[in-house]
């Protein structure tokens, strides 16, 4: 059971970094720091979009329009932090 919990925690940590990477990439793309016509840059951007968008889309639908500011990654990171802490402090001690 410990191996399953550790695997779930690791998956949450990896997804955490993918969300941060996606946010940073979107800023670099928006400010024309990266070349969107570069095949590698396009592949990385497409991968990050496909991985994070299914989790971010429902959050964006619930949030009010804040102009050009997108806080959905921050909210998703807070949710992931809560889930991670809940697993570590509540579920893991009860199972061990």
For 5-15, how does the pLDDT look when each residue is reduced to its tens digit (9 = 90+)?
A: 999 999 999 99
Q: Is the pLDDT of residue 96 over 80?
A: no
Per-residue pLDDT at 59:
96
| Residue 26: how many other CB atoms lie within 10 Å | 16
pLDDT in tens, 15-53: 999 999 999 999 999 999 999 899 999 999 999 999 999
| DSSP, res 90 | I
Sign of the alpha-carbon torsion through 40, 43, 49, 51: negative
pLDDT in tens, 46-69: 999 999 999 999 999 999 988 888
For 69: left if phi > 0, alpha if psi spans -120 to 50, otherwise beta; the answer is: beta
Domain extent, residue 6, equals: 2-95
**28 to 14, 55, 82: CA distances (angstroms):** 21, 21, 28
- What's the total number of domains in the chain? 1
């Amino acid at each position: 059971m410990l191996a399953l919990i550790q695997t779930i925690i690791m998956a949450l940590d990896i997804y955490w970094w993918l969300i941060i990477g996606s946010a940073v990439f979107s800023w670099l793309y928006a400010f024309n720091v990266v070349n969107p016509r570069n095949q590698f840059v396009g592949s990385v951007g497409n991968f990050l979009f496909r991985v994070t968008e299914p989790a971010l889309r429902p959050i964006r639908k619930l949030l009010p329009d804040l102009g050009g500011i997108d806080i959905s990654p921050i909210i998703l990171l807070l949710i992931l932090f809560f889930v991670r802490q809940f697993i570590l402090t509540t579920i893991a001690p009860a199972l061990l």
